[in-house]
Structure 1
Amino acid sequence: MKLTTGFANGIFHVQLNRPEQKNAVDFDVIRELSEALYEAESNQNIHTFFLTGHPGAFCSGGDVQAFHSLRTKEEALTMLRPMNDNLIRLRKLPCVTACFIDGPAVGGGAELAAACDRIYISSKGKAGFIQGKLALSTGWGGAACLKEKVGAKHAFHMLATASVYGSDRLLETGYADAKAENIEEVLADLLPVTVPGEALKSYREPLDASLFYKEMAFEADRCAALWESDEHHKQVELFLNRK
């Protein structure tokens, strides 16, 4: 299993578990995350969906090696749409969602974190939407989530520069919500949620307008169109040859 789960005291803890790949997402992770989301959607006793990575990293985004064989727009969509759907489902969960960044959260990893209600970050945490370095845009819905967190002006700057930011800057912009140095500190800060799931769901629907989900979904198609470009494949080859 590349993703482990545990449930205690109303908190459903989901951990990406690929330390050698800095918890990068491949097709197995996409499938296992979908299964974890189904459990969260089905279990009314879950009040918090808590997402972490194996210690030392949150998520380094899509696994370039695993997705290297995807060449065309149609092939890219076989990865982009399922993960895009995962992030939309994460946003729609009838519970509080939180994550803990204690290392790199870059590319798709920054998108995954942005889909959570609350982001905790350690002094070692950093995040950046570096997709542009591979001649791509966000494909999992993260740009829409980023705009909601930091505003359009800051979001465009972060996306256009493809920069990686440290914890202090991420807290300043509003991308991250609170500082924590370990999971225990996060769990101590996570307040118990007493509102029933159906009531939480009724709050979700007006707060996240349908247009927001359409914006998230559109990112998969936009990224797929760039995916099949010669420039993208050139940058991927350069990246792989540097490793």
Structure 2
Amino acid sequence: MTDKLIDSGPVLLDLDPDGIAHLRLNRPEASNGMDVPFLQALHAAVLRCHGEPRVRAVLLTGEGPHFCAGGDVRTFAAKGEHLPDYLREATAWLQISASALLQLQAPVVAAVHGYAAGGGGFGLVCASDFVIAAESAKFMSGAVRAGMAPDAGVSVTLTQLVGLRKAIEILLTNPTLTAAEALEAGLITRVVPDADLAAEAHALALTLTTGAPRALAATKRLLWGGVGATVADRLAEEARTVSELSGTADAREALAAVLERRTPSFTGR
């Protein structure tokens, strides 16, 4: 019988009899856009996985049409001049959530459909151990386009995944990558037909539950540990940069442009 560890709120967590923790982003009406309460719930759910010895693998999914469209733009725009303070708090919760995923002993499988964008969606993809994507899925950093900078450790994890040159291209030019392009770049693990996404991701998670837990955990620690100190070093600098940029006129213009569905006009102020 499935054990409902967190059965309400913006992030849900179930544990099935096979030891798969189903971690579900649950703000479908906002494309799983991240605000502070959402990020606090995400962190609490990941910590619950840390503290539950029955968890052998984590399956990360998003409810609704998108995996995660990044930050909640409407909430950010409503903060006005208080946005830097709000983003300082939001970024802190996002960073400790991403760090907790990287440090989780159980392997994490992300199943991505729709958009994985912004520091939230793109960052969770980069912090997962395996990423299975539907053929129609799209991936975009979006930070610079929004007058911001990468967070969630992406300035390090993305470089490790795709290489420095490709990371520079992705983060500075903000292309919208198809699932096939993301696979070719090394960002994700596998592309499957849309109709097969849930089954394929679950099958991979189930396979992981049959492995030796301590060996999987140790191997994961060794692999991520090679970049872990660098990620930790960069988290504070990412947070400072995002907060600083969020107070600029360009950042306010970017938020307004998203809401008004137009191309932003940046002035460098």
Q: TM-score, normalised by structure 2?
A: 0.84
Q: What amino acid is aligned across from residue 101 of structure 2 in structure 1? A: L
- Tell me if structure 2 keeps the 8 A contact 1:5–1:36: yes
Of 224, 230, 235, 2:254 maps to 235
- Tell me if structure 1 keeps the 8 A contact 2:36–2:89: no
- How far off its partner does 1:222 sit? 1.5
Counterpart of 2:204 in structure 1 is 189
- How far off its partner does 1:202 sit? 7.3
Pairing 1:76–2:87 present: yes
Deviations 1:101-146 (A, max 9, x none): 1111111211111110111101111101111111111122222211
- How far off its partner does 1:66 sit? 1.6
- The number of aligned residues is 243
Of 47, 52, 55, 2:56 maps to 47
Pairing 1:20-59 to 2, within 5 Å after superposition? 20-59=29-68
Deviations 1:139-187 (A, max 9, x none): 2222221111111111110001111110110000110111233211111
Q: Report which of the two structures shows the higher radius of gyration computed on alpha carbons.
A: 2
- Tell me if structure 2 keeps the 8 A contact 1:50–1:99: yes
Pairing 1:1-243 to 2, within 5 Å after superposition? 1-8=9-16, 9-68=18-77, 69=79, 71=82, 73-108=84-119, 109-180=121-192, 181-190=196-205, 191-193=207-209, 194-197=211-214, 200-201=217-218, 203-204=220-221, 206-242=225-261
Q: TM-score, normalised by structure 1?
A: 0.92
Q: Distance in 2 between matches of 1:242 and 1:234?
A: 12
Q: What amino acid is aligned across from residue 107 of structure 1 in structure 2? A: G
Provide closer, same or farther for how the CA distance between residues 217 and 41 of structure 1 changes in structure 2, counting only shifts above 3 A. Answer: farther
Q: Distance in 2 between matches of 1:196 and 1:222?
A: 38
- How far off its partner does 1:197 sit? 4.5
- Tell me if structure 2 keeps the 8 A contact 1:55–1:102: no
Q: Distance in 2 between matches of 1:4 and 1:164?
A: 28
Q: Distance in 2 between matches of 1:47 and 1:204?
A: 15
